[in-house]
A and B are shown apart, each in its own frame.
Chain A
């Protein structure tokens, strides 16, 4: 039911669908044109494009799930959900499913825009590419749920969320290979699931074994999903104890 509610939102706000059809590509296009300035071959642009697409997966989950719960607080519907026997986790799972569906749609649209407007085609091993996207979705969902717990806990978390989102993109090498990062920073990037998601997707497109990335993403999923689930439970408990469902 909650997932259906998320889908009904799209029907209520049809411009939102138009927005995600176009906007995400528009968001990455300046970087792709900047990549074009550096000449090279198409692989340079493909490399950058794949990194940015994966970063959008994180972004959509981060804002859709992580900060999405804040929209429900602002609109005053979280109290209604809390008053029902529905656990808070169900709401976030519905939001995660909606975000994943959105990500699949946006990825397809981005690939079409890339081909049509910039002449860039991804000649990927599609099986590998989809596997990496699916695992990335799971690993990043855990991260987004952890952020959602943070949002419920501290309320005003948009600025921090924005910094984390951008920092994760930068540290994961969304527009460059992580090997050019300084040693200490590179070590930090190895603890971020997005790093492996981007690397795996790039290998699926440009060639290379994706087994290390698959293993890393499974490990991250096993760690971050239960952690996110547990933290959401804690946040739920706190809201019920303090009675601050409607405060923001």
Chain B
């Protein structure tokens, strides 16, 4: 779509809206970053698979701490997504060419990436809890998973969204993560000044982690009262 847009002379509009004409890197950063966020969220799918195959009760009855289980599942997903992302970046590089510009600030980008991903774990804990609590959790996960790229502005700046959705999108840590990453790597226009965005991400990481964990503990307690079986 972007290549076609460029061919028919619409790149100027893109550059005006984002402060960069590097649309390939702009979309790739958003997509790769989102893949990592989705990998973290994907632990809810692991949980669901265990529920469906009837092995969750056995797993829950072992001495392995929940955090250990979550960590193991997410690590496996993060490793897989790293592999896929490298392939995706190579394919883009070889087919349409990838230029990260003159001055990408990789170390700051790494910090933003790690902190915002930690904040995403908070949401993953919440989804994990909801999966335990509701029998058609697949729909909840799918709904949230589909809403997030829109609300998080994975492929576009969220300033394009209508105001009510925009306000909602500001509550997601990955909105700030994607925006700040494009800002430090490409010099793209950010929603707020970069320093403020980085401050938000720094504070959001422990806050979302704590809130997510509390939600997980509460939802799990309720699920145990009702019984984990039955979906």
Contact = CB atoms under 8 A, between A and B. Distances in A.
Interface of A: 12-16, 18-19, 22-24, 26-27, 29-31, 33-40, 44, 48, 74-75, 117, 175-177, 180
Nearest to B11: A38
B143 A31 contact: no
B139 interface: yes
Given A36-B156, A37-B13, A29 B1 contact: no
20 contacts: A12-B136, A16-B136, A18-B143, A19-B142, A19-B143, A23-B143, A30-B154, A30-B155, A30-B156, A33-B153, A34-B1, A35-B5, A36-B160, A37-B13, A38-B2, A38-B11, A39-B16, A48-B1, A74-B52, A180-B7
A40 B139 contact: no
A38 B143 contact: no
Name the residue among B10, B17, B156 with the largest chain A CB count within 10 angstroms. B156
Contact of B134 (A12, A15, A74): A15
Contacts of B4: 175-177, 180
B161 interface: yes
B27 interface: yes
B10 A30 contact: no
A36 B5 CA distance: 10
Interface residues of B, number: 38
Contacts of A74: 52-53
Interface string B123-153: 0000000000011101110110011011001
B142 A23 contact: yes
Contacts of B149: 26-27, 30
B139 to A, nearest CB: 4
Contact of A27 (B3, B13, B146): B146
A134 to B, nearest CB: 26
A19 B139 contact: yes
B162 interface: yes
Closest 9 CB pairs of A and B: A39-B13, A38-B5, A15-B139, A175-B1, A19-B139, A13-B136, A38-B10, A26-B146, A176-B4
A99 to B, nearest CB: 16
B3 A176 contact: yes
Contacts of B153: 30, 33
Contact of A38 (B13, B134, B138): B13
A35 B134 CA distance: 36
Nearest to B52: A74
Given A13-B136, A15-B136, A34 B2 contact: yes
A32 B14 CA distance: 13
A6 B153 CA distance: 35
Contacts of A37: 13-14, 17-18, 156, 160
Given A36-B160, A40-B8, A176-B4, 11 more contacts: A14-B136, A16-B138, A18-B143, A22-B146, A27-B146, A27-B149, A30-B154, A34-B27, A35-B5, A38-B1, A39-B16
A177 B3 CA distance: 11
A110 to B, nearest CB: 12
Contacts of B53: 74
A14 B140 CA distance: 11
Contacts of A26: 143, 146-147, 149-150
Contacts of A44: 5, 10
Contacts of B10: 38-40, 44
A19 B11 CA distance: 35
Name the residue among A18, A22, A27, A30 with the largest chain B CB count within 10 angstroms. A30
A118 B12 CA distance: 22
A139 B8 CA distance: 32
A30 B134 CA distance: 28
Contact of B1 (A14, A15, A35): A35
